[in-house]
Each structure stands twice: as C-alpha cells, then as structure tokens.
Chain A
Amino acid sequence: MEKRYFNPKIELLPREELGALQLKKLKKIINKVYKRVPHYRKKFEEAGVKPSHLKTLEDIRHFPFTTKEDLFVDYPFGLLAEPLEKVVRLHTSSGTTGKPKALFFSRKDVMAQAELIARSLVMSGATSGDILQNSMTYGLFTGALVMHYGAELLGMLVIPAGPGNTERQIELMRTFGTTCIHMTPSYALYVASLIQEKGLKPGKDLKLKRAYLGAEPYTEETRRKIEEMLKVDVFNCYGLSEMGGPGVGFECPVKEGLHLWEDAFLVEIVNPENGEPVKPGEVGELVLTSLNREAMPLIRYRTRDLTRFIPEPCSCGRTHVRIARILGRADDMFIVRGVNIFPQQIEGVLMGIKGVAQNYQIILEGYDEMTVKVEIDRDFFDGRIERLLKLKEEITEKLRQAIQVRPKVELVEPGTLPVSEGKAKRVIDKRTL
C-alpha cells in the first residue's frame, strides 16, 4: 500500500512530541477561557482549580467537565472567547427538546477543521483527482459544509448534492463520474438498493471507490453490506458539531478504529457514571477538549458517545490514538451486576449470529436478572428443536463473552417484539431497589 499523508510532520509526530504539543496548547486554551469566559472562570473556581494547576496532561482530570447544559448558559454567545467580529460561522445542533446548541467558529477554526478533513481524505487514499458527491445536509448542520471545505482544501471536485432526491443522486454519479460519496450509512443503504433496483452495476456503470459514512452509529455488518453492494471502501467518520463537525475521528485503510487527531483534541474516555477514567481498552464516554478552537473552545466536553481506546500503534504509521467505532450513547447504558452494559453491545453480538432476526429486547428484573429476548429468523427454523437449543446456547455464550454477564436468553417468534425505535423499547427495567 502506498503511504501518503496530507501533513506528515503532524500525522507521524512521535507520541512524546505529540504530548508536549498538546500540553502547550492545553495550557494556552485553559488560560484563555479562564480569562475570557466568565462561565468557565466560575466553574474552575467552584472546582477549586486554576490554570496554573495544569502542569501535566493528566492534571486535566482536576478541571470540571463541560456538558450540553453548559452550552445553554448565557445563551447563545456566553461561551465565546473571542469578540463577535472574529466569528465567521454559526452551526447548530438540535437537541431533543428546546433550543439548538449554538456553535461558533472563527475563520481560523473553519480552516483548521478543513485541514483535519483533508488529512482524513488523503488517509483514505483520496487525491485532488477525486470527485466527491457530498450528500449530507447543507445548512445549520456541520456535516456537509465542513466536509465541503476540507475536500476543496485537498483539491477534490466537490458536488454539493445535499441529501435526498435519490434518482438525481444516481444521475449525478453517472454523469460526473463520482468517485467518493459522503452520506449517512442508512442513506447509503437506500441509495445502494435503488442502484440495484435499476440494474446498474457499481464498478461498471458507476465509478465509486470510497464512501465516507458517518453522523449515525452503524455496525461492521452494515459496512460490509454497503461495501459489497456499492463495490466501495467504506470509511467510518466521526464528528460532532460541538467539536467542529466531521473530521474529529476518521478511519485509515487498516479499518480498525478511527484515528482522533490529537494535535486538535485532547482525548479522554471516562466512566459515564462517575467521570473517572476507564481502564485502557474499556468502554466509556468520549470526552474531548478542543485544543485549536479560537472562537468557542470547549474544555472536557462530555460527548455522550460510547467507545474505547485501541491502544496498539497503527500499522498506517500515524501516531494519533484510535478509538473503536461509536458503540452507542452513554444515556442508553444500564448496569447489571455492577457491569456497565449498553444495548449496542448486545445488538452487535446478535447481528453476527446466523438464525437471529432483527429485533431483540432486554428485560431487567428481580435481583439483577437480565433476560434477552431474541426473535428467530423465520428461514432458519427447520423444524428441529435441537437446532434452536444450539442457537440459544450460542447466543448465551457469545453475549457472556461480550458483556461479562451471563444473560437468560429467550427465543421468540419473528415479528412479536416491538420494532426498534431507540432505547425506550429495547430495555425494560422492572427492577425495584
């Protein structure tokens, strides 16, 4: 594999130097928010910390977290660390209720995020000769615009298609010879199925090579399915508006986790319950500090996204840390017998087992008893009870390995469990303490 880097000096920076660079930037940004953002000063004071307490990177632990709620203090401009004249861009991120989070970026912020995208695209193998069809939503959402800037910085031809109108999407792909697409995984599945329906042959009628899929969590199975249907390499990209949108984390061709650009972010993974760092490799909530942000720096921001570190160095040569694909939301987590578990872990196991249909349900009751109800696949049933018993045993054992708790598994008929609509119906907690 030919190795190319957009910014080799930074991407290959030895870890000690990377750490030193982070500490330098961290000190600067902690000082800045303490001086310029009253809300941060107040929080630091309440926690009894001062910028001068920050001597090593580990000292960041003594500084308070920033949560979604903090973004609504002195809304909308309260967390600005620069005068409004320096702000060139507003993005918002809608919450489930009420006002959207308001995120502000200076010109430097916009270009810094574009560089992260450009690095990521080169990492995936893209060059200025590629044609990117950007099918994320343009507008207040960061997804499309931030990718757009990054791809232009690299010199790709960008087709600002936006989402929807799938007939037109496919027409654009055919007319202009789109080589890369950027969209959500669920939309990619839809586009791929329509391409199949039309009898078009990816690889022949279409020139697609890569798909950058993000903005919603998806599984390895889904990746493989899309790769096969569209004959592309799928790269998982992670971002959140609070941290500047896409480009925060991106997969390299090794496709074992996403590199997080550590010259731009200080990365922590904590136990969502108590905020303490998790053991290396253990699942927890991703916490990010923006090290480059000028207009609106965020310190120890609780992303609510669950992941784990992949501590081994990556064979692509980049020294920046890797995280596993996002496994779910911290809010979905539940605890059984002292073990933190989230539905996506269970979903991941079930999706890899033949004979299991789409739906499942987790029931917690009694003295920390966990029952997983699993729909069997209609076509798997051949009339033999032995086969069902084996399936049940396989599910139980694979779940035990994945979550360290041996659940009770119940096989149920297909179509009898509520269809997936997020957490609400997936986990039924009947425990009373």
Chain B
Amino acid sequence: MEAVPVLSIFAENKPGKLEKITEVLAKEGINILGFSIVSVKDFGVIKFLVDKPEKAYQKFKERGFTVAKVPCLGIELEDRPGGLYEVVKLISSKEINIESALVYVAETRKKAYFVFEVEDLDSAWEKLKGEGANFLRASDFIKE
C-alpha cells in the first residue's frame, strides 16, 4: 500500500498556538509540504505533510505536544481544469468518506497531489488501487 504519514497535532484555540507549532518545524529545519487546519470552537487539529515526518514527530513529542501520525493516501492531480474534481469523483464513487485532506505541490511545481485521510485505510486502498491513479509514495518526498 502506498500510504504516506501525515502529522496531526491537537491544539487548543489559543493565540500563538499555531506559531509555537510551526516554530518547532522551522527550528529543526523541517520543510512543510502541505498543511490543513480544522477548528471546532474550542480546539482544532492541525495537519502537516513534512519531508522529515519521523523527526518532526519526535520533536513534537519531546516538547509536550499531543501529536499522532495518520497514514493517508495521496493521488496525483492532473494539471488541468477539473483535475481535483476527477479525483474527488473517483473517491466518492467508491463510497469512501474523506475525513480530512490537504494538497501537496511537489517541488518541481509540475505535480500536485490530493492527500486525504479516511476511516478505513485498507479498504480504501483495495477499492482505489486498480483505478489507474498515480499514488504518492513516501519515497517521493521523505528525506530521512
């Protein structure tokens, strides 16, 4: 399975919280490749796709953050109008529910990926793997 790790951090909605989180990554020289923020009033969950996920995970832990690694699937988006639509349509046609998502644009700027989280990763993979989509591989972006 071509799963990629996304870091997920629990954060109370307090001023300066996002600053503290991104500071950790900046100080450790970890590159943010994509991120998303979901907030529900008093708290939120911030997700990062980074080039050194294991190091980032350890550093967040060391500094007392509540962090988890969530395996996600990434599908390449075609660089044309309707590219995202095609991917989302494929996913929903398999009755897979997207729980969260972020977009990763590769360094070359030539390729972009839709990186998404589902409840049951194994079954989503089984349903999608034969559909001719290009999946993002961990080795495509991880430098550790």
List the interface of chain A (C-beta within 8 A of B): 376, 378, 381-386, 388-389, 410-416
| Complex: A182 Cα to B100 Cα, angstroms | 54
Q: How far is the CB of B97 from chain A (nearest CB, A)?
A: 10
**Given A383-B47, A413-B12, A378 and B66 touching (CB < 8 A)?**
yes
10 sample A-B contacts, Cβ–Cβ < 8 Å, listed by A number:
A381-B10, A382-B8, A382-B68, A383-B7, A383-B8, A383-B45, A388-B43, A389-B40, A412-B12, A413-B11
List the interface of chain B (C-beta within 8 A of A): 6-8, 10-12, 38, 40, 42-45, 47, 64-70, 99-100, 117, 119
Residues of B within 8 A of A384 (CB): 8, 45, 70, 99-100, 117
Among residues of A, the one whose C-beta sits closest to the C-beta of B97 is A386
| Complex: A378 Cα to B63 Cα, angstroms | 13
Residues of B within 8 A of A415 (CB): 64
B99 and A386 within 8 A (CB): yes
Give the 7 A-B CB pairs with smallest separation, nearest first: A383-B8, A383-B68, A383-B70, A410-B42, A385-B45, A381-B66, A382-B68
Among residues of A, the one whose C-beta sits closest to the C-beta of B10 is A381
Which residue from B11, B47, B70 sits with its C-beta under 8 Å from A382? B70
**Given A413-B12, A413-B66, A383 and B43 touching (CB < 8 A)?**
no
B12 and A388 within 8 A (CB): no
A412 and B117 within 8 A (CB): no
Residues of A within 8 A of B99 (CB): 384-386
Q: How far is the CB of B24 from chain A (nearest CB, A)?
A: 14
Residues of A within 8 A of B47 (CB): 383
B100 and A385 within 8 A (CB): yes
Q: How far is the CB of B96 from chain A (nearest CB, A)?
A: 15
| Complex: A192 Cα to B60 Cα, angstroms | 34
Q: Which interface residue of A376, A383, A388, A389 has the most chain B CB atoms within 10 A? A: A383
Q: How far is the CB of B21 from chain A (nearest CB, A)?
A: 12
Q: How far is the CB of B101 from chain A (nearest CB, A)?
A: 12
| Complex: A411 Cα to B66 Cα, angstroms | 12
| Complex: A412 Cα to B12 Cα, angstroms | 6
| Complex: A411 Cα to B69 Cα, angstroms | 20
Which residue from B38, B66, B117 sits with its C-beta under 8 Å from A376? B66
Among residues of A, the one whose C-beta sits closest to the C-beta of B72 is A383
A413 and B10 within 8 A (CB): yes
| Complex: A388 Cα to B45 Cα, angstroms | 10
| Complex: A94 Cα to B7 Cα, angstroms | 53
Q: How far is the CB of A127 from chain B (nearest CB, A)?
A: 52
Which residue from B42, B67, B70 sits with its C-beta under 8 Å from A411? B42
**Given A386-B99, A412-B12, A416-B12, A381 and B68 touching (CB < 8 A)?**
yes
| Complex: A382 Cα to B5 Cα, angstroms | 12
Residues of B within 8 A of A389 (CB): 40
| Complex: A378 Cα to B44 Cα, angstroms | 15
19 more A-B residue pairs beyond the given contacts A383-B6, A411-B43, A414-B66, with a C-beta to C-beta distance below 8 A: A376-B66, A378-B66, A381-B67, A382-B70, A383-B68, A383-B117, A384-B45, A384-B99, A384-B100, A384-B117, A385-B40, A385-B44, A385-B45, A389-B40, A410-B43, A411-B42, A412-B12, A413-B11, A413-B64
| Complex: A414 Cα to B6 Cα, angstroms | 21
Q: How far is the CB of A162 from chain B (nearest CB, A)?
A: 40
Among residues of B, the one whose C-beta sits closest to the C-beta of A411 is B43
| Complex: A383 Cα to B11 Cα, angstroms | 11
Residues of A within 8 A of B42 (CB): 410-411
Q: Which interface residue of A382, A412, A413 has the most chain B CB atoms within 10 A? A: A413
Among residues of A, the one whose C-beta sits closest to the C-beta of B42 is A410
| Complex: A410 Cα to B44 Cα, angstroms | 11
Residues of B within 8 A of A416 (CB): 12
Q: How far is the CB of A382 from chain B (nearest CB, A)?
A: 5
**Given A413-B12, A415-B64, A383 and B69 touching (CB < 8 A)?**
yes
**Given A383-B47, A410-B43, A411-B43, A388 and B68 touching (CB < 8 A)?**
no
Q: How far is the CB of B109 from chain A (nearest CB, A)?
A: 28
| Complex: A165 Cα to B25 Cα, angstroms | 48
| Complex: A27 Cα to B46 Cα, angstroms | 70
Q: How far is the CB of A405 from chain B (nearest CB, A)?
A: 19
Q: How far is the CB of A236 from chain B (nearest CB, A)?
A: 35
Among residues of A, the one whose C-beta sits closest to the C-beta of B69 is A383
Q: How far is the CB of A381 from chain B (nearest CB, A)?
A: 5
A388 and B70 within 8 A (CB): no
| Complex: A414 Cα to B47 Cα, angstroms | 19
Among residues of A, the one whose C-beta sits closest to the C-beta of B9 is A383
| Complex: A306 Cα to B28 Cα, angstroms | 53
Residues of B within 8 A of A410 (CB): 12, 42-43
Residues of A within 8 A of B65 (CB): 413
| Complex: A388 Cα to B8 Cα, angstroms | 12
Q: How far is the CB of B35 from chain A (nearest CB, A)?
A: 13
